């Protein structure tokens, strides 16, 4: 279990167009709104839609964040597209006891066999939820729900206002997608 009473570092793996950069910003805003210290930033060059992208969040409940570098040893890794697992080493630097959160239609136990047993795992079919609730295959808000179920760095309701600001008339659907993913995420903690 990740200790959220200390600095938590999160690395997002997605593809251009999936909303990873937006999720990073929304999570940081929700943390700041809760009175925490937070930073969120992307890492990408001139990539095109569909190319791998990275995003980073740091959230600290009590101490200002002085680090201004990419996260190389995250507490949690979020994978918006399970196809990236074969393209990118998504677990690179992931701390022992850390959490992997994956968008996949495969069952949790099947995915668990693909990773080292030193990490906890959370799985949700974010693509299915996004298509059913949003009508598009953009999984950023669904994966926020999965992250909050698995790690709980902010309260679920703390994302309501940032989602309202970002999505306007589409906010309610994004909030519903996030809440549904929160409910449907399966988590396997370390024993």
Q: Is the pLDDT of residue 122 over 90?
A: yes
Give the confidence band of 114 by pLDDT, cuts at 50, 70, 90: confident
Q: Is the pLDDT of residue 107 over 60?
A: yes
Alpha helices, DSSP H only, in 122-170?
A: 126-129, 140-150, 160-167
- Does the predicted TM-score (pTM) go above 0.75? yes
Q: What pLDDT score does 45 carry?
A: 60
Domain count, the chain: 1
Q: Would you say the C-alpha torsion 142, 181, 40, 75 has a positive or negative sign?
A: negative
Q: Decide if 51 is inside a domain.
A: yes
Mean pLDDT of 147-166: 97
pLDDT higher at 146 or 43: 146
Mean pLDDT of 111-136: 93
Give the confidence band of 124 by pLDDT, cuts at 50, 70, 90: very high
Q: Is the pLDDT of residue 51 over 80?
A: no
Q: Is the pLDDT of residue 18 over 60?
A: yes
Is residue 99 a contact partner of residue 147, using CB atoms and an 8 Å limit? no
Domain range holding 86? 8-188
Secondary structure percentages of the chain, helix, strand, coil, to 5 = 40, 20, 40
- Mean pLDDT is lowest, of 41-50, 138-147, 155-164, for 41-50
Percent of the chain with pLDDT over 90: 81
Cα(57)–Cα(40) distance, integer angstroms: 4
Q: Decide if 96 is inside a domain.
A: yes
Q: Decide if 1 is inside a domain.
A: no
Alpha helices, DSSP H only, in 46-154?
A: 108-112, 126-129, 140-150
Q: What pLDDT score does 191 carry?
A: 73
Q: C-alpha distances in angstroms, 17 versus 40, 52, 115, 138?
A: 18, 10, 26, 7
Q: Decide if 176 is inside a domain.
A: yes
What is the average pLDDT score of the chain? 93
User: What CATH number did the domain enclosing 116 receive?
Assistant: 3.40.920.10
Q: Decide if 2 is inside a domain.
A: no
Q: Decide if 3 is inside a domain.
A: no
Q: Is the pLDDT of residue 150 over 90?
A: yes
Is residue 123 a contact partner of residue 104, using CB atoms and an 8 Å limit? yes
């Amino acid at each position: 279990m990740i200790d959220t009473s200390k600095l938590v570092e999160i690395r997002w793996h997605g593809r251009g167009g999936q909303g990873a950069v937006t999720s990073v910003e929304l999570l940081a805003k929700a943390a700041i709104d809760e009175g925490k210290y937070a930073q969120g930033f992307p890492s990408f060059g001139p990539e095109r839609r569909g190319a791998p992208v990275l995003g980073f969040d740091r959230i600290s409940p009590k101490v200002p964040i002085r680090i201004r570098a990419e996260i190389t040893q995250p507490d949690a890794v979020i994978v918006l597209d399970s196809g990236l697992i074969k393209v990118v080493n998504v677990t690179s630097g992931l701390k022992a006891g850390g959490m992997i959160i994956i968008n996949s239609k495969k069952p949790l136990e099947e995915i668990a066999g693909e990773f080292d047993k030193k990490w906890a795992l959370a799985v949700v079919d974010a693509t299915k939820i996004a298509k059913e609730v949003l009508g598009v295959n953009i999984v950023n808000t669904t994966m926020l729900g999965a992250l909050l179920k698995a790690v709980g760095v902010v309260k679920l309701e703390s994302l309501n206002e940032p989602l309202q600001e970002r999505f306007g008339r589409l906010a309610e659907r994004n909030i519903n997608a996030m809440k549904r993913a929160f409910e449907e995420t399966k988590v396997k903690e370390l024993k």
